């Protein structure tokens, strides 16, 4: 009897401790995503967003910035100031996404057409020199012909930066002597390459004076 009395506090503590253990969280009812439910009258297990709900950061209040359209037509201006930083970004994105097909100067002589894909038109033909800037944004956004859209790979601001760089390419390839800044050497000396690249990789420019010194000569890759 005395031994039972000694065990009583331990048994009591065990009972009190286990009384708070419940597994409701483990066995509670739930619905799988998009599954049917009889809880709501429409049979849905989840509720639709309130009408007019907009995801954070996706308001798209500036329609032109996201479409390049003014009414039903293409606009002919950029929705932000074109700076050197914008053109540098545009060139970087162009070299990654566009140059493999369109070529680094936009003449359509990229690497991919040499493997059987249809050669894209040069940006320097009269038709494409005259199209509005918003046209290039729209093509990047929605695709055109065999060119797929790049809306999922390239954010809107970068698409505009690429459009600005295409305009810079068109200017550079069609420039006249009147467009050349005073003191600029014409023609500019062509860069020498150790490796011209493959379209998927960037060309490697030969350091100036390396050949003249006769040091570190390497065979072309």
Asked if residue 11 belongs to a domain, the reply is no
Per-residue pLDDT band for 184 (boundaries 50, 70, 90) equals confident
Asked if residue 124 belongs to a domain, the reply is yes
Q: What is the mean pLDDT of residues 117-126?
A: 95
Per-residue pLDDT band for 174 (boundaries 50, 70, 90) equals confident
Integer Cα distance of 207 and 217 in angstroms? 11
pTM: 0.65
The three-class DSSP label of residue 114 is helix
Per-residue pLDDT band for 9 (boundaries 50, 70, 90) equals confident
Asked if residue 210 belongs to a domain, the reply is no
Render pLDDT for 51-65 as a digit per residue (tens, 0 to 9). 889 888 788 889 999
Q: Give first-to-last CA distance, the chain, whole Å.
A: 95
Asked if residue 60 belongs to a domain, the reply is no
When comparing pLDDT for 119 and 173, which is higher? 119
Q: What CATH number is associated with residue 134?
A: 1.10.760.10
Number of domains comprising the chain: 1
What mean pLDDT, rounded, does the chain reach?
85
Asked if residue 89 belongs to a domain, the reply is yes
Asked if residue 190 belongs to a domain, the reply is no
141 closest CA partner among 90, 82, 66, 72: 66
Asked if residue 208 belongs to a domain, the reply is no
- Please list the alpha-helical segments (H only) found in the chain: 2-19, 24-27, 63-67, 84-93, 99-102, 126-130, 133-142, 156-173, 210-213
- Owning domain of residue 106: 76-174
- pLDDT score, position 130: 96
């Amino acid at each position: 009897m005395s031994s039972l009395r000694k065990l009583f506090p331990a048994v009591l503590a065990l009972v009190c401790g286990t009384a708070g253990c419940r597994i409701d969280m483990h066995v509670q009812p739930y619905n799988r995503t998009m599954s049917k439910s009889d809880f709501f009258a429409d049979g849905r297990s989840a509720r639709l967003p309130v009408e007019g709900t907009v995801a954070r950061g996706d308001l798209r209040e500036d329609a032109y910035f996201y479409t390049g359209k003014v009414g039903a037509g293409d606009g002919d201006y950029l929705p932000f100031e074109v700076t050197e930083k914008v053109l540098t970004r545009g060139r970087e994105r162009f070299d990654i996404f566009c140059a493999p097909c369109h070529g680094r100067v936009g003449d359509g002589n990229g690497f991919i057409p040499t493997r059987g894909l249809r050669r894209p038109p040069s940006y320097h033909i009269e038709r494409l020199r005259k199209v509005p800037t918003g046209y290039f944004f729209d093509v990047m956004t929605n695709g055109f012909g065999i060119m797929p859209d790049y809306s999922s790979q390239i954010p809107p601001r970068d698409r505009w930066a690429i459009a600005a760089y295409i305009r810079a390419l068109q200017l550079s390839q069609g420039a006249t002597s009147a467009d050349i800044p005073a003191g600029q050497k014409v023609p500019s000396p062509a860069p020498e390459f150790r490796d011209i690249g493959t379209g998927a990789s960037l060309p490697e420019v030969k350091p100036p004076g390396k050949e003249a010194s006769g040091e570190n000569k390497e065979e072309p890759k």
